[in-house]
Structure 1
């Protein structure tokens, strides 16, 4: 049984707008919760509302790597989740986003002295604790809870959707990790090698050797054998070496999840949105085919898969390089309004 978190809500509230008569203003509230011995920090955004009103609410889950509550990493600040929270707030949806392990104020927490022990289930337990905290907020309608995940966070949303109580009313899977992790890594590396060959950096024979070495490296990782990096370029060799180091437990436990298999556990009638961007080179639309089919077989509701023309992995398009594209926001808005 997963541990039930002890949650404490801090008294720091920041008003973000002047309310109309009879309404409470929109506000951000800093929250803290503890799970597996780690103190986790987050932000609840409460839109303008009537006193005592219960609102729809969404837990926001970030993508892979050191991505914090706002959707940022040390080398990049797209503010993906902060902007999603703002858009949902405009639609009168309460949101909770938090700094997962290895990011923001949370850091590695209980894993600080042994990061090699951190695995994917620990992130799922952290997200479950956040979901329970959101459920218990005074402005939240527990019958109208949603989980909105981006990239790897979308896979976590799927796992939560079949395990938490109460079951979410809806899941929004934004540019989701929809196949096994190492299959996705191999697909991305094959695409990068093909592009480098097109640009003249490798010969066709070298490309075939690199592709074969990449597939062999994936097989070795899954069988927990040493990876032979002889025929891999240095950057790829370093990547697979890192997968064998402190990240090994996380990589293998993440790779063990096949997202289409999670669909059968969702509550019948759960609304599911799955977006894929036609300019997304990290998670191409074709990688969501099996998950889309699994969702169609499961007793869940729509809207299902919504392709986003010209949209990349961070939900941007050519006309909106720093903010979510209108098509992405429209799909999310239509999902949340149901």
Structure 2
């Protein structure tokens, strides 16, 4: 049996993120965006509103955050979309992983008078698998897009929201969903933000992460060069098998990786196949012209290195989007924080968010 040191823990973490079918509220007091203009003293205090909507026979549960505002005021709004795997409305995978990424984003937006909606997608929080509980193998990626599209329309219809100023912001895998919704959104989206996005095909990103981990294990003396080559070839073959609708050959893999690819080929297979079929750059080409767009990447993000976002950034330019485009965030990790101060969003993240929210406003 091949030993690869730290790889099993990495593989298990990736498996939890990507095996949606069966392996499938934080504080809002994060940093806030600098105020854009002085406002009259609000008479209506800030509030969280529990909200539900039904799509494809499933009740989805979410949190609508309404900032302090004047009676009758119409405010800009953002739909926040989480990353892969069992990531809930707050950007958490409790109990092990609780960075509160989306809750922090909601808090930052609220500080600038922006309404936000975040919800428990399929397989998470109060929503759970819903109508798919007895048939998880039928849950595909388009179901998540329909769920997000329904949330967008619900947000646009809230009495406190300016329908012409509703944006989408997706984190990690949620960025692809934000792109898909923005292409056909009604009313037209006022902007789309892609934060540390899934910028290549799903299985390409997974394979790259695994190859990076193998290289790190060699550098640390935990793995020989020959073992790296053997396991790397097995990873590439397993990806090819999944794309050819064949059972992946896991015979040359250590147990943790074999378990990961068996999970991908199990009840989650339909989801994996349908999301992997999408190239994010191709979706970006379909965006409405002149829509404000933001793409961020962090210099210490090991899941989405900046070089992996180049094709998507170019696609946004070719689609004639406006806005800040790609912004590199120095010393920012995948969860949008500076590891030296992980309890709040990094100042570079807040600055990029502020630039995006100001772009295209009238």
Structure 2 counterpart of 1:329: 350
1:197: how far off?
1.4
Partner Cα distance (1:185, 1:22) in 2: 47
Structure 1 counterpart of 2:293: 272
Instruction: Give secondary structure in 2 for the equivalent of 1:283.
Output: coil
After superposition, the C-alpha distances for 1:27-56 in whole angstroms (9 at most, x for unaligned) are 111101000000000011111111111110
Checking the alignment, whether the CA contact within 8 Å between 2:42 and 2:68 is kept in structure 1 is: no
The aligned runs of 1:215-294 (5 Å cut-off) are: 215-294=236-315
Instruction: Give secondary structure in 1 for the equivalent of 2:285.
Output: helix
Partner Cα distance (1:295, 1:223) in 2: 30
Unaligned 5+ runs, structure 2:
1-28, 30-38
CA gap of 1:251–1:139, structure 2 versus 1, over 3 A, is same
4+ aligned runs moved over 4 Å, structure 1: 19-22
1:318: how far off?
3.0
Instruction: Give secondary structure in 2 for the equivalent of 1:50.
Output: coil
Question: Aligned residues, how many?
Answer: 321
Checking the alignment, whether the CA contact within 8 Å between 1:272 and 1:300 is kept in structure 2 is: yes
Structure 2 counterpart of 1:110: 131
Alignment pair present for 1:177 and 2:189: no
TM-score (norm 2): 0.87
Alignment pair present for 1:48 and 2:48: no
Structure 2 counterpart of 1:132: 153
Checking the alignment, whether the CA contact within 8 Å between 1:161 and 1:265 is kept in structure 2 is: no
CA gap of 1:39–1:292, structure 2 versus 1, over 3 A, is same
The aligned runs of 1:21-60 (5 Å cut-off) are: 21=41, 23-60=43-80
Checking the alignment, whether the CA contact within 8 Å between 1:149 and 1:157 is kept in structure 2 is: yes
1:167: how far off?
1.7
Instruction: Give secondary structure in 2 for the equivalent of 1:107.
Output: coil
Instruction: Give secondary structure in 1 for the equivalent of 2:259.
Output: helix
Checking the alignment, whether the CA contact within 8 Å between 1:275 and 1:306 is kept in structure 2 is: yes
Checking the alignment, whether the CA contact within 8 Å between 2:333 and 2:339 is kept in structure 1 is: no
Instruction: Give secondary structure in 2 for the equivalent of 1:316.
Output: coil
The aligned runs of 1:65-214 (5 Å cut-off) are: 65-74=85-94, 75-214=96-235
Partner Cα distance (2:247, 2:140) in 1: 20
Partner Cα distance (1:196, 1:118) in 2: 35
Checking the alignment, whether the CA contact within 8 Å between 1:121 and 1:253 is kept in structure 2 is: yes
TM-score (norm 1): 0.93
